[in-house]
Amino acid sequence: MKRFENYVLGQWTPGADAEYVARHAVTGAELGSVSSLGLDYAEVLDYGRRMGGSALRAMTFPQRGLMLKALAMHLQARKEDYYAVSYATGATRVDSWIDIEGGIGNLYTYASLRREFPDLPYHVDGGLVKLSKGGTFGGQHLMLPLRGVAVHINAFNFPVWGMLEKIAVNLLAGVPAVVKPSEFTSFLTERVVRDIVSSGILPEGALQLVVGKGHGILDPVQRQDVVTFTGSYATGYRLKSTGRFAELGVPFNLEADSLNATVLGPDAVAGTPEFDLFVKEVAKEMTIKAGQKCTAVRRIIVPEGQLEAVQTAVAQRLAGVRMGDPAQDGVRMGPLATTLQADRVREAAQVLAVENEVVYGSVDGGAEGAYYQPLLMRCARPLDANAAHRIEAFGPVATLMPYRDVAEAAQIAAMGGGSLVSSIVTADKNAAKEFVLEAGYSHGRVLVLDSSSAKESTGHGSPMPLLTHGGPGRAGDGEEMGGIRGVMHYLQRVAVQGHPNVLSHVAERYYPGADRPEANPHLFRQHFEDLRIGDTVTTATHTVTLQDIENFAELSGDKFYAHMDANSLEGTIFTGRVAHGYFILSRAAGLFVDPPKGPVLLNYGIDTCRFTKPVYPGSTIQVKLTVQEKVDQEKRSPEDIAKGIVKYYVEVVDETTEVVAVATILTMVKKRNQA
C-alpha cells in the first residue's frame, strides 16, 4: 500500500505504522496510509525555529513578499495536478477551485501586501511619539518577527486553502510553519507540499508537514510559538484550555465551525431580484463542498409572510442539483469527504429532526457510501428552539426559521452563540444597517447582498484574505487573515525609547530632532543607493510678496477671500491677506529642486502636508529638505529602470525660524547600479 509521507527535518519520511488509511470518497478505493507515529515533535519544532526562522528573519518584507509571489506562480502552473487529486476528496471542479485556486490566491494577496511594509526585516509601527518638551526624547513602536514557529492544525474540508491561507501570513511576517492537515485529506496537502519543497523557493525549515494524526504535536510548544486550529469547537476548545497555553502564554487562534445564518430582508418578497438571489445563495451554500464549509449556511431566517414561498423555491432549486460522481458532466454535488463524515451528518440530522420538521430530503441521507442528499428542515418557533441553535450537521443540511422584524432576525441569528459569518439579502439600506448594528457583535463577518453587488459579490461563504476571518463565541473567538492585521499576529511589538538620532537609526527613517547633516552633493544629484537617511539640503530664501499671491490666484483659480479680499477678514484668524498654502509648498519646491537632469526621475506624490502658520506678504521663507525614508522598487521587466522611492521631509520656516509648513513628498530616483 502507498504510504503518504511527512516532510520534517529537511526530509520526506513515513510514520512508523499506519494511523489511518485514506480512501477515495467516490469509489471507496484505498489511496494509501498516513502516519506521524515516531516523529519527535520537539525536534521538528526546534528545527523550524532554528533553520526556517533565522532564514526568514534575515529577509525583508519585500523579499518575503516576492517569495510568496514566486510560490503562487509555481503552484498555479501545476494546479491541474491538484485538481486530479482533489477529485478523490469528493470535490467537484467548483469545489476544488475554491480550495486550490482560492489558496493560491491568498499567496498572491499576501505577496502584494509587501508594499504596505517597510523595506526592512521588521515593521515600523506608526510614527514617532514625542516624550519630552525639548524633543530630545521620544518613542517608536517596532514589530519584530516572533522567534518561534507557527503550528497550523487544519480541518479536512480544505486541504489546500487551509494550509496556504495560513502560511501566507506567517511567512510574510518572517515566521516558519509546521502544518498538520486532517489525516482524512492530507494526501492532497502532501501533493502540494512536494511541489513547494522541490521548488526551493522557501528556505529550508520554513515549512514542515505532518500528514498523520499528530498526537503530541502541541506538547513541545514554547513561548514565541503560535498555534492555530481550524475544526470543531469542541476539539479546539479542549486543546486551547490545556494548562500549557495559559502557563506559557502561547497564542492559540481557534477558528471553529459555527451555526452561520442568512437573513432574507423584509423588502425582498417573492418576485424581487433579492428574493431570487437569496434562494440561489442558500442552495449554493448547502451544496458547494457538499455543505462541508465552516462558513456554510445552517440557519435560514426569513420573514413570516415569506416562509412558504422560500421553502418552495429552495426545495425546487435543491431538486435541480444533481448529486453523484464529480467526474461526470452535470454533477454539481459530490459525496462528503469520508463515510465517517456522512455518518456524523446523519447522526446530527436525527437530533435536529426531533425538534424540526423535514420539508425536503430525508434524515438518512437517501444515498449510500459517503453521499448525503441535501436536507432542508423547518423550525416553527426559533425563539423557543434549542437544537437548531446548538447542533450542527456538517454537511448539506439547513433549517428554515421565521422572524417578525429585523431586530428579531438579529436576535435569532445571535442564538447560535457566535458565528463566523451572517448575511442579509436586502435592497433596503435601513434594514441592512439595522441588522449589521444589531447582529454584528455576534458574528465575525456580515455580508450585505443585493442586486447592485450580486455580480461581483463573493457570496456568504467566501472569507477574503484582506478581511478578518473568525468569530466570537462558538466560532472560537479567533481571528486570522485580515491583511496587515493577520501579519501582526506573528510580530512582537516593542516600544523603543531614546533620542531621535537613535530612533532614526533603528527605524531607518528620519525623525524631527535627529541630526541633519548637509548633503554634498545636492540630494537631487545622488542616486538611490547613495542617499543617506537624515541628509539635508538647506535652501536659499524667498520673501513672499502681494504679487506672489495675485499671480498664484490667477494661475490656480483659487481666489478664496482670505487670499484676495482684505475687507472680509473680520472675525477670522487672519490679520491681512494670506499666502495660499499651496503657493508656499510650490515655492518651497522651487527652492529645493535642483533643475538639471539627474538621478531623480519624477515626483511621485505627497504623503502628508500641513500648513501650520499663516504667511503674509513680507515674510521670508526657507526650506530644509531631508531624506526621510527609502523604499526599494522591483523591476517589472529586465528592461525596466532600476529605481526606488525616496520620501523627503519638507520643512518650511519663516524669518523667525517658526515652521509654517511641513510635508512628506515622494520622488522616484534612479539607481546607480542598473543590473
What CATH number corresponds to the domain at position 56? 3.40.605.10
605 and 460 in a common domain: no
Q: Is the confidence at residue 479, as pLDDT, over 90?
A: no
Distance from C-alpha of 47 to C-alpha of 207, rounded to nearest angstrom: 10
Q: Is the confidence at residue 244, as pLDDT, over 80?
A: no
In this prediction, residue 635 carries a pLDDT of 84
Beta pairing class for 659-670 and 150-153:
unpaired
292 and 249 in a common domain: no
Give the CATH number, domain containing residue 634. 3.10.129.10
57 and 199 in a common domain: yes
Report the greatest alpha carbon distance in the chain: 95
200 and 291 in a common domain: no
182 and 147 in a common domain: yes
Distance from C-alpha of 95 to C-alpha of 87, rounded to nearest angstrom: 9
Catalytic residue of the set 183, 255, 392, 629: 255
Q: Is the confidence at residue 461, as pLDDT, over 90?
A: no
561 and 464 in a common domain: no
Distance from C-alpha of 667 to C-alpha of 673, rounded to nearest angstrom: 18
pLDDT, tens digit, 9 for 90 and up, residues 632-675: 888 888 888 999 999 999 999 999 999 999 999 999 999 988 87
pLDDT, tens digit, 9 for 90 and up, residues 94-135: 999 999 999 999 999 999 999 889 889 999 999 999 999 988
Q: Of 460, 491, 522, which one is at a domain's C-terminal end?
A: 491
628 and 646 in a common domain: yes
Q: Is residue 277 part of a domain?
A: yes
In this prediction, residue 156 carries a pLDDT of 85
Q: Is residue 132 part of a domain?
A: no
Contact 267, 451 (CB under 8 A): no
Distance from C-alpha of 463 to C-alpha of 478, rounded to nearest angstrom: 14
45 and 94 in a common domain: yes
Q: Is residue 337 part of a domain?
A: yes
Q: Is residue 474 part of a domain?
A: no
pLDDT, tens digit, 9 for 90 and up, residues 582-635: 999 999 999 999 999 999 999 989 999 999 999 999 999 999 999 999 998 888
110 and 45 in a common domain: yes
Catalytic residue of the set 165, 190, 274, 294: 294
Beta pairing class for 375-378 and 491-498:
unpaired
In this prediction, residue 243 carries a pLDDT of 65
Question: Is residue 294 among the annotated active site residues?
Answer: yes
> Which residue(s) pair with 152 in the sheet?
179, 228
Check residues 249 and 283 and name the one with the higher pLDDT.
Answer: 283
Domain tally, the chain:
3
Interhelix angle 93-112/61-76, rounded to 10 degrees, is 160
Mean pLDDT, residues 240-250 taken together: 79
Distance from C-alpha of 183 to C-alpha of 39, rounded to nearest angstrom: 15
Domain enclosing residue 51, as ranges: 6-123+143-255+485-491
Q: Is residue 430 part of a domain?
A: yes
393 and 291 in a common domain: yes
Q: Is the confidence at residue 414, as pLDDT, over 80?
A: yes
339 and 280 in a common domain: yes
Q: Which residues contact 250 (CB under 8 A, 6 or more apart)?
A: 221, 222, 223, 225, 226, 227, 244
Question: Is residue 609 among the annotated active site residues?
Answer: no
Mean pLDDT, residues 365-382 taken together: 92
577 and 645 in a common domain: yes
Mean pLDDT, residues 337-361 taken together: 93
Give the CATH number, domain containing residue 411. 3.40.309.10
pLDDT, tens digit, 9 for 90 and up, residues 350-363: 999 999 999 999 99
pLDDT, tens digit, 9 for 90 and up, residues 143-180: 999 999 999 999 888 999 999 999 999 999 999 999 99
Mean pLDDT, residues 500-515 taken together: 94
Can you give 80-103 as a three-state secondary structure string?
HHHHHHHHHHCCCHHHHHHHHHHH
Distance from C-alpha of 540 to C-alpha of 158, rounded to nearest angstrom: 64
Give the predicted TM-score (pTM) of the model.
0.90
Distance from C-alpha of 230 to C-alpha of 240, rounded to nearest angstrom: 12
Q: Is residue 675 part of a domain?
A: no
Q: Is residue 478 part of a domain?
A: no
Q: Is residue 133 part of a domain?
A: no
